């Protein structure tokens, strides 16, 4: 128990931890002390002087954001002198701040506006000429308007301390001081937009959002980002069924305010002109749009015929579809179509992972664990590129708690700057590298190990054995690629009990039906069965879709509801942000196919509503008996699917090797992700990434 | 290096620190050794650190850079037993308008300063020092490089100093033009290779200064005062001045006087005597209008407020400061509007930009004063100037905001008539 | 120079290195910034930040002889402002401008520490005290003759 002190703020007696910052104590007790430069989680600046308050027995006003509370302190935060000081400081700030409110994106959510409303100085006595410099564009994402900048240094700090990118600096002196990008006139960075969101005014604005709307015209929908497996909540701002922006400033979700470029800006694929709008039937060499009833009829007839003739099916599911969809699909395949040939693009060896850790408790790390664990070991993964939230959690852990970070990777990674030890290894040498850190790791009180796809099968078991041998509590994260890669495995989109793997299906020359949902296997492999009937559900005309006989237009994650499971095994709920014309959610498409195939099939597969399917998941999938209220209210519920051995599966496990700016098919159709490709993120500190 | 002084000395001076000024080759080691050089260091070497610090405390020496903080007390803040290396940093940034004394100490008697540094090093258990010299003083940087080289070659820096076994390294480091770098924490940031932005205090430099290590930072003149304190004892030095304001200091008298110059005067020397007898009075027999007592950061004194002894406490009692010793004399022809404008132009130019009140306030005040000087002054501006200055006072991150506000407030209060005369728009 | 600072603190050399290099190259160019960054083992952005902060570092070349005239309070009281105006007329250029032949540049500067011997002028790094307009003319002519 920390020592507490008793103090008085505005006449109210308050008890607080000794040495806590006055501004935090006040806020915790419902007393607002305004501040621009003070920001929780970032280093203290004491630069804006807005938080000056009166403390009895001290001659000058005191800085609330840096003053530790002490026994007997008597504080006044609303006395006349404090109010007049705030007004004076705001008046100073407004002398050079341009009257851009009518055209500034920040209007309506601007902290300066809010402060002026509350503390005055709306009418200025300044009659001189303002300092002016022109607006600059630093990247496709980031615009900077220097006159609006109040020099609170939040952007510099979030980029340096928060993200570890160090792309922003402060130049010049005095009233012409300004924020500058790392390449003279432009930024080469993660383009994550953290600086834009953290800016209290409209100095940093987003190139995608500018001049489009006012914040109060949008509906804000919190859902889970559809790109990597970290499971960040992104709050999409929607107006008239169009997603206009994404951010997470309400800090809902496991990611707090953190988002990378994909989470913040990677939503524009939803309105790409090449988005499939109606079912398509192969006619000759091309496709013809047909009605849903026609397309469903064709597919249902074919499925029924092949089933009756005892033909072979192959089902390749998606790393992006919801748990409900993945579960329903494998159920459909196994029970309605009678096939075990079910797979998806497996990017991490979850099979061996779940098997090796079977029946253990407390061995799966959550995203929060990465922020609180005393030590973290990263093996064979460039976290900042592929799992930016996880990287951010670890970075914040080091910064706030002094956690120890170790990296065993084939190239330089951002963790090197903070790591206790970084070891470079060749592919295959990861375990040897880890072994070399044994002494240091064993001295840690606890450890979380994250590992990439280079650790699989035998090496994965060896890694767990290593963890066991350290004699300290160890938790693991088996890194996978996409927003529901983990869920796809947990729901059973895998060739259990002798089914064919993805590669085997594609190589099987007598495959009768190939049903591909939200995947693009034919991008890099060809289909051996020349006569196979191919059904594809997707958003775009991918390479696989081109080979299809029937294509169903599918909805994206931002257009449907359901749940997804992140890389740490945490289940979160999606919330549809926009309605989409023409396309349907994959779950609905499954249901419609079932309905078309007849009441017996419908009875087998069940009702295709996400809620009903989730109920079934909770009852039947190992470790998924999670709390419904937690998920329904936007929380993240950890799953524990570690009961029972899992037999090895055929087929390969390999990460797609995405970076900050790529995300499989989706990123190909995202204008913004492609516009920043001039400085593509590269794995392992490659020349494109900010270092 | 010319030994010729920049101004004639005055018979009214008490030359303690400047006693070697004017000697042929006063800046060389041999001349220094021939004139009591390094006696204090050898004496200090036989004293305990606590005794050294007590001697400095007894001298009532106060920081000569401008803040006037009791030096002995400052020395006692450095944790001698810290496992981190302890650094000594010498503030030779001397950029306060009106001040030109540290130049002379380095030019004519560099070894006195070095000996002071070494005595401090003994007291701190420090073995590394950095002499931060403003960029404009390049000739002094070159000069100090030569002096330091001579000291090393003759065994007065480096290993086994003067045969005592004590080791100390001194490096001269150049600034590049920034007044704010005279502020001790901003200086440390500049020394670390960054922009000269001041730091939050606490932690104080004594505990976490250069490279987060305990650092003693003092002005050139402060260090230069140490040898005589150790040699002749703290009380002797203290007795030269007034109670709690010990010793002598180099006063830079400039402006409307017949004999501007740098003169060493004891603390407590009467200000009017300094103006009229030491500096030869005001040219053309003009009347005294105002005095800037210790550099442009101090509130100005009206002529009728100048009949006072010059020491830290008296100046503080009359609402000003002894500051850096830069005394500027203004006669009746001085246009106080132009004067206030020039002062504010300086602070607006030098503001580091870190905090809102100083960054925006100095520029705004400058613009109002410029408009006033250009003939566009309004009646409300006079009160506005005072009010805005008060909005800066005590609210800024470092003392530069106060330094800009204080003289302005004093000019607006005491010389309102000058502003009234220039008003064009009576609102 | 790098060795005079503690282990791992090469960044301290940035400011002195910039100003010494500027003496040779004439201005702080992007190439110079990259070079200093490399030698001091910091990112170019960290050097870039510093350049605009210090008055004596220039991104554009000054004249071969950079004439700095102080107009701060002590100099102003004894004719510093008039001296600066005179300098402008004599050289035909204004604040921070360079003569067309590249010989001279002019800057109105803040206090350079010569208050008791005002008016003061610094040409490059040479101090000149008690400078009258006539003396300034002589100084400029002397340079022109070189």
Helices (H) and strands (E) in chain A, counts: 24, 28
According to CATH, the topology of domain B29-240 is Rossmann fold (3.40.50)
Q: How would residue A687 be classed by pLDDT, with cut points 50, 70 and 90?
A: very low
Task: Using a CB–CB cutoff of 8 Å, tell me whether A182 touches chain C.
Answer: yes
Cβ distance B256 to B286 under 8 Å? Answer: yes
Q: What is the pLDDT of residue A122?
A: 80
Q: What is the pLDDT of residue B427?
A: 53
Cβ distance C122 to C109 under 8 Å? Answer: yes
* Chains in contact with B, where contact requires at least 3 CB pairs less than 8 Å apart: A, C
pLDDT digits over A334-385, tens only?
999 999 999 999 999 999 999 999 889 899 999 999 999 999 999 999 999 9
Which letter, b or e, does each residue of C16-48 get, where b requires 16 or more Cβ atoms within 10 Å of its Cβ?
A: bbbbebbeeebebeeebbebbbebbebebbbbb
DSSP for residue A61: P
Chain pair A-B, CB pairs under 8 angstroms:
94
- Whether residue A18 is predicted with pLDDT greater than 60 in this model: the reply is yes
Q: Look at strands C104-109 and C97-98 and give their pairing.
A: antiparallel
pLDDT digits over A78-111, tens only?
999 999 999 999 999 999 999 999 999 999 999 9
Q: How would residue A690 be classed by pLDDT, with cut points 50, 70 and 90?
A: very low
pLDDT digits over C38-87, tens only?
999 999 999 999 999 999 999 999 999 999 999 999 999 999 999 999 99
Q: What is the pLDDT of residue A644?
A: 76
CATH class entry, domain C65-145:
alpha beta
Region C6-31 average pLDDT: 95
pLDDT digits over A428-438, tens only?
999 999 999 99
Is there a contact between A92 and B357 if contact means CB atoms under 8 Å apart?
yes
Q: How would residue A688 be classed by pLDDT, with cut points 50, 70 and 90?
A: very low
Nearest to A242 by CA among A512, A532, A580: A580
Is there a contact between C53 and A169 if contact means CB atoms under 8 Å apart?
no
- Whether residue C92 is predicted with pLDDT greater than 70 in this model: the reply is yes
- Whether residue A404 is predicted with pLDDT greater than 80 in this model: the reply is yes
Domain locations in chain C as residue ranges: 2-53, 65-145
Residues in A touching C46 (Cβ below 8 Å): 169
- Whether residue A124 is predicted with pLDDT greater than 90 in this model: the reply is no
Mean of pLDDT over chain A: 93
The pair of structure tokens assigned to B68 is 């006037």
* Count of alpha carbons within 13 angstroms of residue B282, beta-carbon side: 18
* Residue B63 CB partners (closer than 8 Å, separation 6+): B69, B70, B71, B74, B218, B219, B222
Helices (H) and strands (E) in chain C, counts: 6, 5
The pair of structure tokens assigned to C102 is 């590249």
Q: How would residue C146 be classed by pLDDT, with cut points 50, 70 and 90?
A: confident
Which letter, b or e, does each residue of C80-112 get, where b requires 16 or more Cβ atoms within 10 Å of its Cβ?
A: bbebbebbbebbebeeebbeeeeebbbbbbbbb
Q: What is the pLDDT of residue C97?
A: 96
According to CATH, the topology of domain B248-331 is Ubiquitin-like (UB roll) (3.10.20)
pLDDT digits over B408-427, tens only?
999 999 999 999 988 876 55
Region A144-173 average pLDDT: 95
Q: What is the pLDDT of residue B3?
A: 60
**Torsion sign, CA atoms A551, A556, A557, A562:** negative
Is B221 buried (19+), middle (13-18) or exposed (0-12) by CB count in 10 A? buried
* Residue A31 CB partners (closer than 8 Å, separation 6+): A9, A10, A12, A77
CA distance C37 to chain B (A): 11
Integer Cα distance of B408 and B390 in angstroms: 9
Cβ distance B176 to C15 under 8 Å? Answer: yes
Integer Cα distance of C33 and A365 in angstroms: 45
Residues 107-136 of C with CB under 8 A from B: 110-118, 122, 125-127, 129
Q: Measure CB to CB from residue A172 to each of C43, C45, C52 and give the nearest one.
A: C52
- Given a cut of 50, the residues of chain B with pLDDT beneath it are 1
Residues in C touching B178 (Cβ below 8 Å): 53-55
Is there a contact between A48 and B355 if contact means CB atoms under 8 Å apart?
yes
Q: Measure CB to CB from residue A170 to each of C30, C49, C55 and give the nearest one.
A: C49
CA-nearest residue to B85 within chain C is C6
Is A458 buried (19+), middle (13-18) or exposed (0-12) by CB count in 10 A? exposed
Task: Using a CB–CB cutoff of 8 Å, tell me whether A580 touches chain C.
Answer: no
According to CATH, the topology of domain B336-421 is de novo design (two linked rop proteins) (1.20.1440)
CATH of C2-53 among 1.10.10.1590, 3.40.47.10, 1.20.120.350, 1.20.120.1200: 1.10.10.1590
Q: What is the pLDDT of residue B86?
A: 96
Mean of pLDDT over chain C: 95
User: What value of ipTM does the predicted structure carry?
Assistant: 0.96
pLDDT digits over A202-224, tens only?
999 999 999 999 999 999 999 99
Better pLDDT: A281 or C2: A281
CA-nearest residue to C42 within chain B is B193
Q: What percent of chain C has pLDDT over 90?
A: 95
pLDDT digits over A246-300, tens only?
999 888 889 999 999 999 999 999 999 999 999 999 999 999 999 999 999 999 9
Integer Cα distance of B202 and B196 in angstroms: 18
The pair of structure tokens assigned to A131 is 């300092």
pLDDT digits over B6-41, tens only?
899 999 999 999 999 999 999 999 999 999 999 999
Task: Using a CB–CB cutoff of 8 Å, tell me whether C87 touches chain B.
Answer: no
The pair of structure tokens assigned to C45 is 């952005």
* Count of alpha carbons within 13 angstroms of residue A394, beta-carbon side: 31
Domain locations in chain B as residue ranges: 29-240, 248-331, 336-421
CA-nearest residue to B263 within chain C is C116
Q: What is the pLDDT of residue A529?
A: 95
The pTM for the full model equals 0.93
CA-nearest residue to B134 within chain C is C112
For residues B358, B361, B362, B363, the Cα torsion angle rounded to the nearest 10 degrees is 120
Is there a contact between C9 and B192 if contact means CB atoms under 8 Å apart?
yes
Integer Cα distance of B124 and B58 in angstroms: 18
Which residues make beta-bridge pairs with A281?
Answer: A288, A550
* Residue A188 CB partners (closer than 8 Å, separation 6+): A139, A167, A182, A679, A690
Q: Measure CB to CB from residue B356 to each of A92, A126, A176 and give the nearest one.
A: A92
Please identify which residue in the block is written with the tokens 């070697």: B20
């Amino acid at each position: 128990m920390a020592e507490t002190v008793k103090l008085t703020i505005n006449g109210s007696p308050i008890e607080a931890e000794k040495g806590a910052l006055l501004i935090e104590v006040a806020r915790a007790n419902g007393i607002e002390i305004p501040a621009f430069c003070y920001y929780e989680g970032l280093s203290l600046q004491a630069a804006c002087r807005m938080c000056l308050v009166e403390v009895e027995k001290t001659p000058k006003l005191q800085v609330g954001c840096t003053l530790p509370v002490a026994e007997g302190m008597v504080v006044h935060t609303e006395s006349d002198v404090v109010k007049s000081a705030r007004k004076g400081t705001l008046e100073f700030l407004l002398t050079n701040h341009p009257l851009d409110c009518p055209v500034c994106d920040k209007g309506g959510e601007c902290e300066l506006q809010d402060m002026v409303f509350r503390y005055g100085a709306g009418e200025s006595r300044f009659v001189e000429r303002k300092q002016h410099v022109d607006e600059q564009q630093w990247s496709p994402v980031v615009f900077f308007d220097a006159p609006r900048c109040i020099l609170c240094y939040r952007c510099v700090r979030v980029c340096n301390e928060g993200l570890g990118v160090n792309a922003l600096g402060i130049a010049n002196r005095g009233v012409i001081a300004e924020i500058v990008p790392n390449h003279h006139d432009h930024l080469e960075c993660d383009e994550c937009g953290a600086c834009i969101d953290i800016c209290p005014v409209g100095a940093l604005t987003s190139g995608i959002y500018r001049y489009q709307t006012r914040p109060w015209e949008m509906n804000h929908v919190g859902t889970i980002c559809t790109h990597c497996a970290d499971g960040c909540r992104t709050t999409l701002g929607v107006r008239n069924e169009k997603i206009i922006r994404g951010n997470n400033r309400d800090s809902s979700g496991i990611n707090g305010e953190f988002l990378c470029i994909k989470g913040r800006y990677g939503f524009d694929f939803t309105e790409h002109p090449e988005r499939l709008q109606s079912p398509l039937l192969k006619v000759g060499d091309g496709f013809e749009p047909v009605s849903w009833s026609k397309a469903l009829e064709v597919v249902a007839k074919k499925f029924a015929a092949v089933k009756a003739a005892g033909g072979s099916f192959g089902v390749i599911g998606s790393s992006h579809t919801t748990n409900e969809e993945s579960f329903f699909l494998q159920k459909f395949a196994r029970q309605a179509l009678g096939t075990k040939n079910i797979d998806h693009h497996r990017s991490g060896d979850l099979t061996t992972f779940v098997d090796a850790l079977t029946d253990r408790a407390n061995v799966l790390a959550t995203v929060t664990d990465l922020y609180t664990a005393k030590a973290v070991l990263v093996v064979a993964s460039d976290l900042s590129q592929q799992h930016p939230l996880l990287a951010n959690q670890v970075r914040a852990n080091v910064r706030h708690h002094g956690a120890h970070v170790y990296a065993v990777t084939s190239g330089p990674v951002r963790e090197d700057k903070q790591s206790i030890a970084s070891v470079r290894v060749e592919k295959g040498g990861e375990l040897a590298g880890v072994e070399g850190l044994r002494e240091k790791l064993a001295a840690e009180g606890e450890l979380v190990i994250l590992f990439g796809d280079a650790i699989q099968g035998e090496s994965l078991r060896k890694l767990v054995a290593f963890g066991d041998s350290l004699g300290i509590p160890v938790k693991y994260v088996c890194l996978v690629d996409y927003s529901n890669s983990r869920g796809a495995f947990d729901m059973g989109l895998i060739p259990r009990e002798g089914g064919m793997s993805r590669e085997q299906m594609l190589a099987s020359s007598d495959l009768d039906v190939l049903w591909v949902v939200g995947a693009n296997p034919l991008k890099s492999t060809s289909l051996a069965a020349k006569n196979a009937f191919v059904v594809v559900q997707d958003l775009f005309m991918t390479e696989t879709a081109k080979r299809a006989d029937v294509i169903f237009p599918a909805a994206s994650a931002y257009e449907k509801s359901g749940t997804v499971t992140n890389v740490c095994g945490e289940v979160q709920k999606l919330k549809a942000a926009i309605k989409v014309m023409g396309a349907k959610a994959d779950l609905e498409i499954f249901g419609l196919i079932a309905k078309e195939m007849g009441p017996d099939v419908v009875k087998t597969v069940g009702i295709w509503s996400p809620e009903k399917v989730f109920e079934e998941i909770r009852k039947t999938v190992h470790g998924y008996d999670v709390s419904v209220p937690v998920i329904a209210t936007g929380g993240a519920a950890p799953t524990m699917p570690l009961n029972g051995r899992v037999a090895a599966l055929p087929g390969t496990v390999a990460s797609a090797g995405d970076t900050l700016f790529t995300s499989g098919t989706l990123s190909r159709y995202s204008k913004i992700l492609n516009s920043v490709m001039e400085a593509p993120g590269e794995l392992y500190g490659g020349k494109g990434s900010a270092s | 290096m010319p030994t010729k002084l920049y101004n004639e000395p005055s018979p009214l001076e008490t030359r303690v620190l400047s006693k070697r000024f004017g000697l042929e080759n006063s800046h060389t080691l041999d001349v220094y050794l021939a004139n009591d050089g390094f006696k204090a260091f050898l004496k200090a070497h036989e004293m305990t650190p606590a005794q050294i610090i007590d001697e400095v405390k007894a001298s009532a020496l106060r920081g000569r850079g401008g803040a006037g903080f009791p030096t002995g007390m400052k020395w006692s803040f450095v944790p001698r037993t810290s496992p981190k290396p302890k650094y000594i940093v010498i503030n030779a940034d001397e950029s306060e308008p009106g001040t030109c004394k540290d130049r002379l100490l380095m030019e004519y008697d560099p070894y006195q300063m070095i000996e002071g540094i070494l005595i401090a090093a003994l007291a701190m258990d420090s073995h590394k020092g950095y002499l931060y010299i403003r960029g404009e003083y390049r000739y002094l940087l070159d000069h100090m490089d030569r002096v330091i080289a001579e000291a090393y070659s003759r065994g007065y820096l480096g290993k086994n100093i003067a045969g005592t076994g004590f080791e100390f390294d001194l490096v001269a480091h150049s600034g590049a033009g920034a007044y704010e770098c005279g502020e001790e924490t901003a200086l440390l940031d500049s020394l670390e290779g960054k922009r000269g932005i001041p730091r939050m205090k606490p932690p104080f430099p004594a505990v976490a200064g250069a490279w987060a290590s305990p650092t003693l930072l003092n002005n050139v003149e402060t260090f230069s005062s140490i040898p005589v304190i150790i040699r002749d004892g703290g009380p002797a030095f203290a007795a030269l001045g007034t109670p709690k304001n010990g010793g002598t200091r180099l006063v830079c008298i400039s402006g409307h006087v017949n004999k501007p110059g740098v003169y060493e005067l004891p603390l407590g020397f009467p200000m009017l005597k300094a103006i009229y007898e030491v500096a030869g009075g005001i040219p053309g027999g003009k009347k005294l209008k105002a005095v800037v007592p210790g550099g442009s950061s101090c509130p100005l004194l009206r002529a009728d407020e100048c009949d006072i002894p010059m020491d830290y406490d008296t100046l503080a009692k009359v609402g000003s400061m002894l500051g850096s010793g830069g005394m500027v004399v203004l006669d009746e022809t001085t246009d106080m509007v132009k004067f206030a404008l020039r002062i504010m132009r300086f602070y607006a130019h030098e503001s580091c930009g870190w905090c809102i009140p100083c960054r925006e306030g100095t520029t705004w005040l400058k613009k109002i004063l410029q408009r006033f000087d250009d003939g566009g002054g309004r009646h409300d501006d006079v009160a506005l100037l005072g009010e805005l200055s008060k909005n800066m006072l005590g609210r800024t991150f470092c003392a530069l905001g106060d330094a800009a506000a204080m003289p302005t407030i004093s000019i607006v209060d005491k010389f309102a008539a000058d502003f009234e005369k220039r008003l064009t728009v009576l609102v | 120079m790098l060795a005079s600072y503690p282990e791992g603190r090469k960044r301290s050399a940035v400011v002195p290195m910039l100003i010494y290099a500027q003496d040779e190259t004439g201005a702080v160019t992007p190439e110079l910034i990259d070079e200093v960054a490399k030698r001091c083992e910091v990112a170019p952005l960290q050097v870039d930040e510093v350049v605009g902060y210090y008055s004596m570092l220039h991104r554009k070349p000054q004249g071969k002889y950079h004439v700095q005239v102080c107009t701060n309070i002590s100099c102003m009281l004894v004719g510093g402002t008039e001296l600066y105006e005179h300098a402008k007329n004599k050289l035909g250029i204004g604040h921070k401008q360079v003569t067309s032949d590249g010989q001279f540049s002019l800057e109105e500067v803040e206090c350079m520490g010569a208050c008791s011997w005002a008016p003061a002028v610094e040409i490059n790094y040479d101090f000149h005290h008690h400078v009258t307009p006539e003396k300034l003319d002589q100084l400029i002519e002397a340079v022109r003759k070189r």
